[in-house]
Amino acid sequence: MTFLFTVSPDFAPDRLSGWYIFNTWLQKQTGTAIHLEMYNHYQQLHQAIEADKIDLIYANPYDAAMLVRNKGFLPLAKAQGQADEAIIAVNADSSVRDVADLQANSRVAFTDDPDVRLMGMIMLEPADLDAGNIVPVLADTHVLVAKHLLKGEADAGIILAEAYDNLSGVIRKQLRVLVRSQISVIHHALMVGPRLQAKRGEWRQVLLDMAADEKGRGVLAALGFDGWQTIDDEEMEFMIDLMDTLNT
Amino acid sequence: MISDMKPEDIVGDYRETVLTFYDGTRRKVLYTELETPYPDGKLIVSTTTPEGVIRQVNRAFVEMSGYSEAELIGAPHNILRHPDMPAAAFKDLWETVQRGEKWQGYVKNLRKDGGYYWVKATVIPNVRGGKVVGYTSVRRKPSRTRVDECAKLYPTLR
pLDDT tens digits along A79-91: 998 899 999 999 9
Q: What is the pLDDT of residue B19?
A: 95
Q: What is the helix (H) or strand (E) element at residue B123, kind and residue range?
A: strand B116-128
With bands split at pLDDT 50, 70 and 90, how would you rate the model's confidence at A164?
A: very high
Pairing of strands B44-48, B131-140: antiparallel
Three-point CA angle A108, A111, A114, nearest 5°: 105
The pLDDT of residue A127 is above 90: yes
Looking at per-residue pLDDT, the higher value among A12 and B116 belongs to: B116
Mean pLDDT, rounded, of chain B: 94
Question: Does domain A3-82+185-246 fall into CATH 3.40.190.10?
Answer: yes
- As a whole number, the mean pLDDT across chain A is 95
Q: How confident is the model at residue A53 (pLDDT cuts 50, 70, 90)?
A: very high
* Same CATH fold assignment for domains A3-82+185-246 and A86-180: yes
Contact by Cβ (8 Å): A119, A183: yes
pLDDT digits (tens, 9 = 90+) for B123-158: 999 998 889 999 999 999 999 999 999 999 998 887
Confidence of residue B2 (pLDDT cuts 50, 70, 90): confident
Q: Is B98 strand, coil or helix?
A: helix
* Residue A173's pLDDT band (cuts 50, 70, 90): very high
Nearest CA in chain B to A244: B124
DSSP-assigned states of every residue in A167-203:
S-HHHHHTEEEEEE-B--S---EEEE-GGGGGGHHHH
Confidence band, pLDDT 50/70/90 cuts, at residue A247 = confident
| DSSP H stretches of helix in A12-141 | 16-30, 42-50, 61-71, 114-124
Statement: residue B23 has pLDDT above 90: no
Fold of the domain built from segment(s) B36-157: Beta-Lactamase (3.30.450)
Chain B residues with CB under 8 Å of A125 CB are 120, 140-143
Q: Give the bridge partners for A180, in sequence order.
A: A87
Q: Which three-class secondary structure state does DSSP give residue B12?
A: coil
CA B51 from centroid of its chain's CA atoms: 15
Yes or no, beta carbons of A182 and B41 under 8 Å apart:
yes
Q: What is the pLDDT of residues A132-147, one digit of tens each?
A: 999 999 999 999 999 9
Mean pLDDT confidence for A117-128: 95
Residue A185 has pLDDT above 90, yes or no: no
Question: Contact A110/A116 with Cβ under 8 angstroms?
Answer: yes
| Contacting residues of A for B40, CB less than 8 Å apart | 99, 123, 126, 179
Distances (CA, A) of A162 to A108, A119, A168, B94, B157: 19, 14, 12, 38, 45
Q: Does residue A138 belong to the interface with chain B, where contact is any CB pair within 8 Å?
A: no
According to the CATH classification, is domain A86-180 in 3.10.129.10? no
Q: Which residues in chain A are closer than 8 Å to B43, comparing Cβ atoms?
A: 183, 246
User: How confident is the model over B88-113, as a mean pLDDT?
Assistant: 94
Counted residue by residue, chain B has a size of 158
ipTM score above 0.90: no
pLDDT of A188-233, one tens digit each?
999 999 999 999 999 999 999 999 999 999 999 999 999 999 999 9
Across the strands, what pairs with B45? B138
Residue A184 has pLDDT above 90, yes or no: no
Closest CA to B69 of B81, B88, B50, B54: B54
Query: What ranges do the domains of chain B cover?
Result: 36-157
Tell me which long-range contacts A199-208 makes (C-beta under 8 A, separation of at least 24). Answer: A199/A30, A199/A32, A200/A74, A200/A76, A202/A30, A203/A26, A203/A30, A203/A76, A204/A76, A204/A77, A204/A230, A206/A26, A206/A29, A206/A30, A207/A76, A207/A77, A208/A77
Structure confidence by residue, pLDDT tens digits, B35-76: 999 999 999 999 999 999 999 999 999 999 999 999 999 999
Q: What are the extents of the domains in chain A?
A: 3-82+185-246, 86-180
Residues of A in contact with B38 (CB under 8 A): 126
In chain A, whose CA is at the least distance from the CA of B103?
A: A245
Alpha carbon of B144: minimum distance to chain A alpha carbons (Å): 6
Region A54-71 average pLDDT = 94
